[in-house]
Homo-oligomer: A and B are copies of this chain.
Amino acid sequence: MLVKPPRGTRDWLPVDQIQRQKALRTIQNVFERFGFEPWEGPAIERAQLYAKKGSVEQKLMYRFKDLAGRQLVLRPEKTPTLARIIASNPLPKPIKWYNIGKSWRYERPQAGRYREFVQCDIDIIGVKEPYADAELLACAHTVLNELGLKNFTIKINSRALANQLLEDAGVAARKRAFALRIIDKLDKIGKDGVKKELLQRGISAESVNEIFTFIDLKGRLEKIEREITIDPDVKAILDKLVQLLDAYKIPNYIFDLSLVRGLDYYTGLVYEIVAGDFGSIAGGGRYDNLLKKYGAEDLPAAGIALGFERIYLLIKKEDVQPIARALIVPIGQTLPEAIELACTLRTYGIPIDIDLSRRRLSKSLNYANKRRFEYVILVGKEELAKRKFRLRNMKSGQESLHTIKQLIKILA
């Protein structure tokens, strides 16, 4: 009889949704503290928007036609929408924008990975690498700190560096993009899997061996530089990035030459934040050539998306208090007075619920207990005659009489 939510999606009850909204508000507050401003785009987009190479794989998109026959998709990510908006509007640069919203991908559901998921995106358009990248990482870092996450690490790589290393390993230019896509599967298919696929795609055994000497490289920049020679232009960017992360007082980062980040449109720095058992909880990078493809000026750009679903699983608690500070329970024929009290307390900004069920007191108190209310305010004829209300502390069971003024003071 019940129609369940589609596979990979889910319903959120208040016990979760109260916490989710609180966390999303923290994220939004930090974004705004960093000067990012909100934008919003449609959840449904024309399929052509993702036809350009480099976005999410076509088979992962939910596709449909409207009645006029237009090919539409549910957005699988938000960067193409952002690119369209930047291209369509003359705006002073740089642009620092954020978006908190859902995207949809037809992927195999796992813990913290749904087919419908909330991502929190920050993007900086018009600032060269690595200045924007450092500000983005500082913002994401502050978000995770304020959410109370302790053990997370920022992994950094450079597409330019990766391409240089593939070149040094003798991989032809036309094979580098798919070689990166194969290396990106390291976590999923392991070293042997990556080796096998690289060989299958015509990369020589010698090149594959060289690739594996560098994708194992992880650590501070000095360590990487002891092992490999970095092209001077790339080195200048990485050195500057390290200086900036220092200025932002971010200690928990490493360079990881195996880091690819799936999307083809990244051009320079790429980054990922990993936490606990979940692996990646945020990722992004520089996409300097993307905006031009959408008809905008040729602007440098970079962005990070925080994966909210996984972050939420890391921070969620089992119990939450109800949103209302107290439940007002009318006793007998006192509903008008109970409503008046609710209206007054609400005017003072105090969240107040009122039991409108017209049931026995014991049932109302039972309900208040189940809902974990801290206070119940009993409105009875006797007390009303004295212009007072009975406040019951649901934990201790203690009751005391108060005027409205006193109630406001206690509950505000």
Please report A residues at the B interface, Cβ cutoff 8 Å.
1-7, 9-14, 17-18, 20-21, 32-46, 48-49, 59, 62-64, 66-68, 70, 72, 74, 81, 84-85, 87-89, 91-94, 96-97, 102, 104, 106, 115-116, 124, 126-128, 131-132, 135, 138, 142, 243-244, 246-249, 294-295, 322-324, 327, 335-336, 339-340, 343, 346, 349-358, 367, 370-371
Contact A6 B66 (CB under 8 A): yes
Residues of B within 8 A of A106 (CB): 66-67
Given the contacts A4-B46, A243-B336, A356 and B64 also touching, CB distance less than 8 Å: no
Residues of B within 8 A of A92 (CB): 367, 370-371
Q: How far does the Cβ of A127 sit from chain B's closest Cβ, in whole Å?
A: 5
Instruction: For A62, give its contact among B44, B59, B322, B357 (CB under 8 Å).
Output: B44
Residues of B within 8 A of A14 (CB): 37-39, 97
Contact B32 A323 (CB under 8 A): yes
Residues of B within 8 A of A6 (CB): 42, 44-46, 66, 70, 72
Q: How far does the Cβ of A403 sit from chain B's closest Cβ, in whole Å?
A: 20
Residues of B within 8 A of A131 (CB): 335, 356-358
Complex Cα gap A106–B76 (Å): 21
Q: Beyond the given A12-B41, A35-B352, A138-B343, please list 9 additional residue pairs across the A-B interface where CB-CB is below 8 A.
A: A4-B84, A6-B46, A11-B41, A62-B64, A67-B106, A94-B356, A135-B356, A247-B336, A247-B340
Nearest first, the 3 A-B pairs at minimum CB distance are A35-B353, A64-B64, A9-B42
Tell me the number of copies of this protein. 2
Contact B126 A35 (CB under 8 A): no
Instruction: For A3, give its contact among B49, B128, B346 (CB under 8 Å).
Output: B49
Contact B2 A84 (CB under 8 A): yes
Q: How far does the Cβ of A170 sit from chain B's closest Cβ, in whole Å?
A: 37
Complex Cα gap A59–B10 (Å): 25
Chain B residue at smallest Cβ distance from A133:
B356
Given the contacts A63-B64, A92-B367, A343-B248, A11 and B34 also touching, CB distance less than 8 Å: no
Complex Cα gap A62–B59 (Å): 19
Complex Cα gap A18–B38 (Å): 6
Chain B residue at smallest Cβ distance from A320:
B37
Complex Cα gap A327–B96 (Å): 12
Instruction: For A11, give its contact among B63, B81, B327, B367 (CB under 8 Å).
Output: B81
Residues of B within 8 A of A17 (CB): 37-40
Contact A32 B351 (CB under 8 A): yes
